[in-house]
Amino acid sequence: MNDVIIIGKGPAGISAALYTIRANLKTLVIGLNDSTLYKAGEIENYYGFPQPISGKQLLENGEKQALRLGAEILEEEVIGIEKEDVFVVKTVKGNYRALSVLIATGQKTADVKIKNINKFEGKGISYCTTCDGFFFRGRKVGVLGYKDFALHEARELIPITNDITIFTNGQTTEFSADSSELAGKFEFNEKPISAFEGGDYLEKVVFQDSSEYPIDGIFIAYGSASTINFALKMGILTKNRAIVVNENQETNIEGLFAAGDCTGVFKQISVAVGQGAVAGRRITEYVRDKKRNM
Ligand SMILES: Cc1cc2nc3c(=O)[nH]c(=O)nc-3n(C[C@H](O)[C@H](O)[C@H](O)COP(=O)(O)OP(=O)(O)OC[C@H]3O[C@@H](n4cnc5c(N)ncnc54)[C@H](O)[C@@H]3O)c2cc1C
């Protein structure tokens, strides 16, 4: 059992880990190599570097620093978080348990832009199978995505309906070996999509070749699971698609914290690192209290 699982190995996640590890908390960091910082060629506004440093170099330095102090870092995609007696973080490869969780998953810009996607949100288009799957009992549904997360969401729909199509929107599927067996269970449509159409509610998918596919509901699971997916599934309070936290980086769910770009703050390394530090300190207090009362 971990004291804390940190989801994300960007500046916020690694900064928090530095504090929890040095406070002797059993800390597991799970992240991918797709921090937004990879895109930053030269950083000139972060403290302590007389010469510009690339985002990639800064990320590598941070990870090495955490590893030197004893962090366990896994490169896996998180597809869900659940709260039972403790937190269970689900990845493509397995489930990991912890007394507390820090979400430091950044804030990716929208991965998919399709005409009318916003218009039908809540009217056939959903970002959460757990929240909205029930409304589509026995109906014709689709999942928009091409990675493991899309497969995971499609699997969540199996008890609800047997008419499930995965729309990849022209992308080639990228399923890990661990998930590829599951792929055989669903219909696939790989055509590029031009629009979602309907009246008050979603009725069909229209493809770039002008063909159409009637549909009652589409669940968006494009790319990796994102901050907003976790928030919706767990009932975490959000505002403008960012997680709402207090001054201690606590969310509305006890034991669940958030830091960095995913909280919708000024998107800068210094802010992410600062929030990570505050979260690390508060998580340490939280876990120590929890263990005293166990
Ligand atoms: C082009 C560009 C230039 C920039 N230049 C500057 C600059 O000059 N100065 C500055 O201060 N800031 C700059 N920034 C902003 C800076 O990169 C961000 O503010 C910072 O990286 C936020 O850190 P974070 O830890 O919150 O999120 P991120 O760095 O985005 O890290 C998110 C982490 O979460 C992980 N993650 C997300 N979803 C999952 C999942 N489902 N499973 C597992 N892991 C997941 C990712 O893999 C990643 O490890 C720039 C950003 C961009 C895009």
Nearest C-alpha to atom 12 of ligand 1 is from which residue?
A: 268
Ligand 1: centre distance to CA 108 (Å): 8
CATH, residue 41: 3.50.50.60
Tell whether ligand 1 has an atom less than 6 A from the beta carbon of residue 40.
Answer: yes
Q: What one-letter code names the amino acid at 5?
A: I
Ligand 1 atom with minimal separation from the 225 CA: 41
Same structural domain for residues 234 and 260?
yes
Ligand 1 atom with minimal separation from the 8 CA: 34
Same structural domain for residues 98 and 17?
yes
Ligand 1: centre distance to CA 185 (Å): 34
What is the pTM assigned to this prediction?
0.88
Show which of 173, 194, 220 is a domain's final residue: 220
Instruction: State pLDDT tens for residues 238-254.
Output: 998 899 999 999 999 99
Could you give the C-alpha distances from 267 to 21, 205, 263, in angstroms and in order? 25, 35, 9
Same structural domain for residues 104 and 236?
yes
Q: Does residue 118 sit within a domain?
A: no
- Domain residue limits at 208: 125-220
Same structural domain for residues 182 and 258?
no
- The percentage of residues in the chain with a pLDDT greater than 90, rounded to a whole number, is 76
Instruction: State pLDDT tens for residues 88-136.
Output: 999 988 999 999 999 999 987 656 889 999 899 889 999 888 878 889 9
Same structural domain for residues 146 and 216?
yes
Q: Are 258 and 104 in contact (CB under 8 A)?
A: yes
Residue from 30, 36, 266 to probe ligand 1 pocket by mutation (most atoms less than 8 Å from CB): 36
Tell whether ligand 1 has an atom less than 6 A from the beta carbon of residue 186.
Answer: no
Instruction: State pLDDT tens for residues 142-181.
Output: 999 999 889 999 999 999 999 999 999 999 998 887 777 7
Ligand 1 atom with minimal separation from the 76 CA: 43
Q: 132 in helix, strand or coil?
A: helix
**Cα–Cα distance between 225 and 13 in angstroms, integer?**
16
Could you give the C-alpha distances from 111 to 17, 231, 239, 267, in angstroms and in order? 28, 17, 19, 18
Same structural domain for residues 184 and 258?
no
Structure tokens at 111: 């991965």
Name 172's Cβ contacts closer than 8 Å, sequence gap at least 6: 146, 190
How long a stretch of residues is the chain? 294
Instruction: State pLDDT tens for residues 261-281.
Output: 999 989 999 999 999 999 999
Q: Does residue 120 sit within a domain?
A: no
Ligand 1 atom with minimal separation from the 32 CA: 47
